[in-house]
Structure 1
Amino acid sequence: MTTEPEGELSRPARRQAEIAAYVVEHGSVSASDLVEAFGVSVMTVHRDLDELERQGVVRKYRGGVSAQPTSVFESNVAYRLNTAQTEKAALARYARTMIEPGMSVMLDDSTSALALVDLLEDITPLTVATNFLPAITALTGRRDITLVALGGIYSATHDSFGGMPCAEAVEALHTDLLFCSVSAVSPTHAFHQEEEIVLVKRAMLRAAKTKVLLVDHAKLQRTALHRLAPLSDFDVVVVDEKTPEELIRPLRDHGVTVEVATF
């Protein structure tokens, strides 16, 4: 599993993410379809598919490959690192305006929060707590940033730490800010498709003074299984400028503070 920052995936990891997106779009494809679409050898395609199957993104069968359920696919970090990059960059720039030197900041294991990491260098000193291994790796050795690595049970699919040990580590802290994201947002609640991820995110909500939800426009048009929290638990919900007004209005009608991040 790659731990490179967003926008810096290795070439095989980027190709695998693109292959995964192609398979999801088409439902099921043959290996020869992928050879033609990506201009690589049959051996390379099978090697990529073996890795994607190991990650739980696709299911191989004789002569071809099909996508796992969307919720499984969207939980995969290689996929998340390679999607909505422009939107996440805009959300991160807005989030950066909320941080002042001397603050303590918690980042969850979302790639939306990860996009903020490279914007922190000129607002130090800071304390940053996170359970996301790519963020931990990127922040290691940064001058004037005190890094609190939130350990727990490691998940290769998410490239992060979770479970009860991580939730307990989170609950030992109290930070000024939390930046987090979710799988889906309704007019009243935030949702995530995985129960074990909800456990840690709820602990993070309890541990932060100011809670900021970062969501690109696609997440306001999705559903997910587990209810994380009412949107009223967040001080601010930040969306990108591609978010239609008809999706923003119901949030504001329910008393949610919504800010729009421009590109």
Structure 2
Amino acid sequence: MTATPSAERSRPAQRQAEIAEYVVSHGSVSATDLADQFGVSLMTIHRDLDELERQGVVRKHRGGVSAQPSSVFESNVSYRLQATLPEKRALARQARTLIEPGMAVMLDDSTSTLELARLLDGITPLTVVTNFLETVKLLAGRPGIRLLTLGGEYHPTHDSFLGVPCIEAVEALRVDVLFASTSAISGGYAYHQEQEIVLVKRAMMRAAQRSVLMVDHTKLGRVALHRLAPLREFELVLTDGQADRQSLAEMREHGVRYEVVA
């Protein structure tokens, strides 16, 4: 089998993210199959699987590996930071065009909006509000950016602040636009697997004059435990060029405004 671009010399973190996606899509695979698929040694695969198991993304068993339940791996920030990066960067480039100097912008604790945060230099002055520690560390001290951090209970799995104190902090603010993501959209609704995150995202939507949802193609046609909001409550849904036709048709049927980003 032809090796993927993630060969032995590739960065381990990126290869591990691709391995995780492969295991998730196939359910259960053998270590030998993974070694063939990714063009690396069996020893390297076992090291990668050990790390992914440590992160709670996969579960090793005799002769192979299987995916943890979606609520586990989809919430893990280490996994999310590596998953579908090219698509997230494309969404971020388009989202950046919606921001003007002088705005107050809220970014949720998604890795999609983290990619947008990387592009904010040059759109100043700008006020940025977030509960994501990765975004806080990225933007702290940036010239022209007034950074407001949302407190609350720190959750290491998400690397963000959640809970009642975070919601109360959100409710005290009013921003021009919210950029957010979620883990699943289907049937005209956005879903997420964790109740605490849903409650914070809903508060953020109420605090924003406009809300933009950034979801790569892997989120389409899926559901999670909790319904976040109707997609029509977002002014715009951004997705990438690999979005399937059925999901796009479904959004049109529900009157959802969306853009497909190349």
Fold shared, TM-score > 0.5 on shorter chain: yes
Deviations 1:205-262 (A, max 9, x none): 111111111112222221211100111211111222332444223323322222232x
Conserved? CA contact 1:55–1:157, under 8 Å: no
Deviations 1:30-50 (A, max 9, x none): 6676677564684x7666545
Question: Which stretches in structure 1 are left out of the alignment for 5+ residues?
Answer: 1-9
1:173 aligns with 2:173: yes
Deviations 1:89-119 (A, max 9, x none): 2211111111110101000111111111121
Conserved? CA contact 2:194–2:226, under 8 Å: yes
What percent identity do the matched residue pairs reach? 64
Once the two structures are TM-superposed, the CA of residue 75 in structure 1 deviates from its matched residue by 2.0
Separation of aligned partners in 1, 2:234 and 2:137: 28
Once the two structures are TM-superposed, the CA of residue 83 in structure 1 deviates from its matched residue by 2.3
Provide the residue aligned with 1:82 in structure 2.
82
Provide the residue aligned with 1:92 in structure 2.
92
Tell me the amino acid that sits aligned with residue 20 of structure 2: A
Conserved? CA contact 2:173–2:207, under 8 Å: yes
* CA distance 1:237–1:25, change in 2 (3 Å): closer
**Residue correspondences, number:** 252
1:72 aligns with 2:62: no
1:143-222 matched pairs, under 5 angstroms: 143-222=143-222
1:213-252 matched pairs, under 5 angstroms: 213-252=213-252
RMSD: 2.5
State the TM-score, normalized to the length of structure 2.
Answer: 0.84
* CA distance 1:160–1:51, change in 2 (3 Å): farther
Separation of aligned partners in 1, 2:118 and 2:87: 15
State the TM-score, normalized to the length of structure 1.
Answer: 0.84
* CA distance 1:218–1:52, change in 2 (3 Å): closer
Conserved? CA contact 1:55–1:156, under 8 Å: no
Once the two structures are TM-superposed, the CA of residue 140 in structure 1 deviates from its matched residue by 1.3
Once the two structures are TM-superposed, the CA of residue 63 in structure 1 deviates from its matched residue by 5.9
* CA distance 1:216–1:28, change in 2 (3 Å): closer
Separation of aligned partners in 2, 1:258 and 1:70: 26
Provide the residue aligned with 1:260 in structure 2.
260
